[in-house]
Amino acid sequence: MDEKLKIKISIADRVYPLTVDMSQEEGLRSASKKIDAMIKQFEENYAVRDKQDVLAMCALQFASQVEQKQVDKSIESKDLDRLKKINDVLFDYLEKK
């Protein structure tokens, strides 16, 4: 069982105290850095006045990345199934010769 760790994560100039498994710490710290970098990018490139709007845009960006990976994985899985079927047909054909 992982030992619990108390950490503080900063996002958009707010500090969030968390109790997490030690195995989660690195991922959470990396995620908070990516969120802050994305906030900075949105603030520099768009006329956004409210942090709530920037955070919503970040959430949408990250969620769309996760969804796109699932779509891509589904497409790859279908392609792999097709290739396996083609391989089976070719293998059966070659065995009969």
Q: In one letter, which amino acid is 27?
A: G
The pLDDT of residue 1 is 59
- Residues 22-31, mean pLDDT to the nearest whole number: 95
What pLDDT does 3 receive?
A: 86
- Is the pLDDT at 22 greater than 90? The verdict is yes
Which of 62, 61, 39 has the alpha carbon at shortest distance from 52?
A: 39
For residue 13, the 8-state DSSP code is: T
